[in-house]
A = this chain, B = another copy of it.
Amino acid sequence: MQNINIELLKSYGLKATPQRIDILNTIEKLGHANIDEIYEIVKKSNPTISLATVYKNITALVEKALLKEVALNNFKSKYEIIKDRHSHLICKVCGKVTDVELNNEILLLSEQLSNNNNFNYKDIELNIYGICSSCA
Contact among B73, B121, B133 for A70, CB-based, below 8 A: B73
Is B106's CB under 8 angstroms from A133's CB?
no
A74 at the interface (CB under 8 A from B): yes
How far apart are the CA atoms of A30 and B93 in the complex, in Å?
A: 30
Number of identical monomers bound together in the oligomeric complex: 2
Is A129's CB under 8 angstroms from B124's CB?
yes
A136 at the interface (CB under 8 A from B): yes
Q: A73-B70, A89-B114, A126-B125 are in contact. Are A120 and B136 (CB under 8 A)?
A: yes
Contact partners of A122 in chain B: CB under 8 A: 92, 129-131
Is B130's CB under 8 angstroms from A114's CB?
yes
Contact partners of A89 in chain B: CB under 8 A: 113-114, 117, 119
